[in-house]
Amino acid sequence: PTPACTETRGQIERRTYSSPTTGSDEVYRIYLPQCYDFPGHADRRYPVLYLLHGWPYDDAHWDNLGVNEAANVGIQAGVLPPVIIVMPRGSEGIYIGTSGGNYSFEGQLLNDLIPHVDATYRTQATREGRAIGGISRGGVWALEIGFLNAGLFSTVGAHSPALSVNLAPPPYDPFYLLDEPGVSMLRIYLDAGDTDWALEGTQALHDAMVEQGIAHQFTIHSGSHTNGLWEANMVEYLGFYTAEW
């Protein structure tokens, strides 16, 4: 009989992929859950969580906040399902300088990164097996990408999304995108800290969603717009993203 897998920790790797959108090789980190490479699991496919960093951070942001440790512990305890986590790096020109569409970070993620990940790893390459979330600037991207592409993602999360400083034009503004037909299909999570400058914009989005009858979870945590806030709530975030997996 094949011996059982005894790994208790996943692995994080830093990889590159070719991005026609940016015209260069781009970087991402990927968390592969414990036993991903175990021979007995060769036919197993895993749901994928895409996590976008805040600015001026990079692909190390979620890693440094402890997402991998939280995933290791949760999966080991049977509280979280085995999941692949992808943490792309957004370069300044495209991450800060664009708001959406094919020649933006949205295009880079949808047209370049996701096909690469699905071709390279044993993913569940379906809407049901894909979630996206982000912090601050990454939270706005997650909302924009998720709301416009509900056929690709089942779950969207935004942690202290920088909505007040996001001057996206209407086609890419999350408030405007609440009218998109797919938004009501999504599981949506919003949070911010009680002394967080992003609270006002997050609260306004929550209010708009309530007014339009869009189901979602909204939580005000204790804390400000700092890494400590997101680190403290990492277990809750992962629990939400993976709840239906």
What CA–CA distance (Å, rounded) separates 104 from 122? 27
- pLDDT, residue 219, reads 99
Lowest mean pLDDT among 40-44, 66-70, 129-133: 40-44
Q: Residue 2: pLDDT above 80?
A: no
What CA–CA distance (Å, rounded) separates 32 from 10? 5
Contact 220, 22 (CB under 8 A): no
Which residue, 139, 110, 107, 140, is CA-closest to 125? 110
Q: Residue 213: pLDDT above 70?
A: yes
pLDDT category at 169 given cuts 50, 70, 90 is confident
Which residue, 7, 51, 78, is CA-closest to 234? 51
| % of the chain at pLDDT higher than 90 | 87
- pLDDT, residue 166, reads 67
Q: Residue 29: pLDDT above 90?
A: yes
Contact 149, 116 (CB under 8 A): no
Q: What is the mean pLDDT of residues 41-46?
A: 94
Contact 104, 94 (CB under 8 A): yes
- pLDDT, residue 96, reads 85
pLDDT category at 60 given cuts 50, 70, 90 is very high
Q: Residue 146: pLDDT above 90?
A: yes
Amino acid at 240: F
Instruction: Give, in words, the CATH class of 11-242.
Output: alpha beta
List of long-range contacts for 97-102, beta carbons under 8 Å, 24+ apart: 99/144, 99/166, 99/167, 99/168, 99/169, 99/172, 99/173, 100/144, 100/145, 100/148, 100/168, 100/171, 100/172, 101/171, 101/172, 102/21
- pLDDT, residue 1, reads 62
Contact 108, 40 (CB under 8 A): no
- pLDDT, residue 97, reads 85
Name which residue leads in pLDDT, 138 or 103.
138
